[in-house]
Chain A
Amino acid sequence: MTEKLFTRPKSLLDVPTHYCPGCYHGIIHRLIAEIIDELHVQDYTIGIAPVGCSVLAYDYFNFDMFGAAHGRAPAVATGVKRVHPDALVFTYQGDGDLAAIGCAEIVHAAARAEKFTTIFINNAIYGMTGGQMAPTTLLSQRTNTSPYGRNSEACGHPIRMSEMLATLEGSIYLARVSVHDAIHMTKAKRCIRKAFELQLQGKGFSMIEVLATCPTNWGMRPLQAVEWLKSEMIPYYPLGIIKDSTEVK
């Protein structure tokens, strides 16, 4: 009998994804599914994926899901969680979704200390629409709508959402993680797990910002993209626990 040391978690359906080669969405999906399996909460997990590359996440996760309008996932999650306070509710949002069109929704969900978790995928670009500038696009980064590189004079500076939300009393646990190697993946998983556990304990709003690559729209090969994430993104978006109000000081 073959023992499987590593296999697909049961909260992740055995189907191919539409994600581009080397895209981190697949890794992050799997980590979430693993944690849900480990916490034995598949039966009462509800996920919300708004518009973005992960809009089809409901085809991949093996639990109840909502599709949502662009940016509105935190409002939808608020409605869901108020109806089912015992469920594990999470939103899965990209940077255009969360930091641009859905900025009001995420800020106020955090301010109200809504008891759900946001998984915020920051890859510094709009993926689904084909590579436009996001609020998190780095200075001088070229995109289809910043073809000469993002210029702070015209487009302002990239937003550090986790730090911004950390100023709100309602956010209790905020971390920025990456999944570009095994060590960081372990840390990322630990943070997402902690956020889910705090939610299940009835604590306030939590968000895990995951830095991710977008090889296709960055115009790089997947391994080049990993290097760019390490050399360009992490210095501007420092990794670590941004806020943990549950730590005993």
Chain B
Amino acid sequence: MPKPVFNTERCKGCGLCTSVCVRNLIFLSEQFNSKGYQPACCKDDTRCIGCLICARTCPDVVIEIHK
């Protein structure tokens, strides 16, 4: 199963990935990372289809897709 893995500390909370997930799985966390950004995360990674679009959209290579 494909699974998005977020490097939360690198995330700048721009939200670009949240708009491109075909399953609408990505949202910005209520929590803050040490840089003060609210990082992106996945609400249910079992539903990820591994389309890679979120990873490719991220300007900061925060998201890796593992299998």
A residues whose Cβ falls under 8 Å from a Cβ of B: 2-8, 12, 16-17, 19-27, 30, 181-182, 185, 215, 221-223, 226
Contact = CB atoms under 8 A, between A and B. Distances in A.
A2 to B, nearest CB: 5
B27 to A, nearest CB: 13
A16 B10 contact: yes
Contacts of B16: 22, 222-223, 226
B65 interface: yes
B59 A22 contact: yes
B67 interface: yes
A182 B20 contact: yes
Interface string B43-67: 0000000101101111111011111
Chain B residues touching A, majority SS: loop
Interface of B: 2, 10, 12-16, 19-20, 37, 50, 52-53, 55-61, 63-67
A182 B10 CA distance: 22
Contacts, number: 71
B15 A221 contact: yes
B14 A4 contact: no
Given A21-B37, A22-B12, A222-B16, A6 B60 contact: no
B14 A6 contact: no
B15 to A, nearest CB: 6
Contacts of A222: 14-16
15 contacts: A3-B66, A4-B65, A5-B2, A6-B65, A8-B61, A12-B61, A16-B10, A16-B60, A19-B60, A27-B57, A27-B58, A27-B59, A182-B56, A222-B16, A223-B15
A25 B59 contact: yes
B66 A5 contact: yes
A2 B59 CA distance: 24
B1 to A, nearest CB: 11
A20 to B, nearest CB: 8
A223 to B, nearest CB: 6
Contacts of A5: 2, 50, 52, 65-67
A181 B20 contact: yes
Contacts of B65: 4-6
Contact of A22 (B15, B55, B63, B67): B15
Given A3-B67, A223-B15, A23 B59 contact: yes
| Interface pairs A-B: 10 shortest CB-CB | A26-B59, A22-B14, A21-B12, A21-B14, A5-B65, A6-B65, A6-B55, A222-B14, A3-B67, A182-B53
